[in-house]
Amino acid sequence: MDMDKRNSVVMVTGAGRGIGREVALAYAREGARLILVDRNAEWIAEISETIIASGGEPPVCRTLDLSDAQAIAACFAELKKIVTRLNALINNAGLGVWKSVYDLSVEEWDYVVNTNLRGTFLCAREAATLMKENGGGSIVNIASTRAIMSEPHSEAYAASKGGILSLTHALALSLGPDRIRVNAISPGWIETGDYAKLRVEDHEQHPAGRVGKPDDIARACLYLTDPRNDFVTGTNLVIDGGMTRKMIYEE
């Protein structure tokens, strides 16, 4: 184990399910103290119980809707009274609305963009104030391969994830002097449901020979937040089994 993680404080947003849940469990196994954020209180309570049952330190849990800017500010103001430092932030929370461009409402657009993009920025900014006071840290923004390729009816989601990529390299330059590294991860197909129900053809369409798992992203987060990897900042790590490099033509 990297001994630095035993004394690390790590915040994970969207920690209740899917990728965020596995990321949180991975850091718990490494001995980090966790701050878990999700809009669903029951999910947060469940993962907290899982961590405690496995011998981990009880995490700090907060229910938070990241589309609410004032709630984000209030949450961090409270956290600053509880924790004296923050070593890493995993900006994982996100959602999408899949509708025809002709039917997508302004309110739906705003909810997706405000949650995914603005929420990522605000959490990063608040986290950076804590990191700056303690000599630096690491921020990982979870984007998506949909930032660089798309399917129909994904405009709001794709725009928000594309914005996260640009936000990542801008923050990396702005926060670099404060010894805060900022990177992004763009997952491809990461199956968060029943992996055993996937079809052979689902796996075979990937150059890597399989569909991704949440643990694939969790291990990447551990790498990017490891202090020994302090030469890695401003990058986007695509983890998609090679799919974005695969040329597809209809015969």
Looking at the annotation, which residues are catalytic? 157
SS3 assignment, position 213: coil
Torsions phi, psi for 236 (to 5 deg): -120, 115
**β-pair partners for 49:** none
DSSP 84: S
DSSP 190: B
Q: From 163, 184, 102, 172, select the one nearest 137 (Cα to Cα).
A: 172
Task: Please report, as a single letter, which amino acid is at residue 26.
Answer: A
Strands, DSSP E only, in the chain? 9-13, 33-38, 60-63, 88-91, 137-142, 180-187, 236-239
With residues binned 3-state (H G I as helix, E B as strand, rest as coil), the percentages for the chain, rounded to 5, are: 50, 15, 35
- Taking the C-alpha atoms of residue 88 and residue 82, their distance in angstroms, rounded to an integer, is 16
| CB contact at 8 A, 60 and 13 | no
- Taking the C-alpha atoms of residue 148 and residue 229, their distance in angstroms, rounded to an integer, is 26
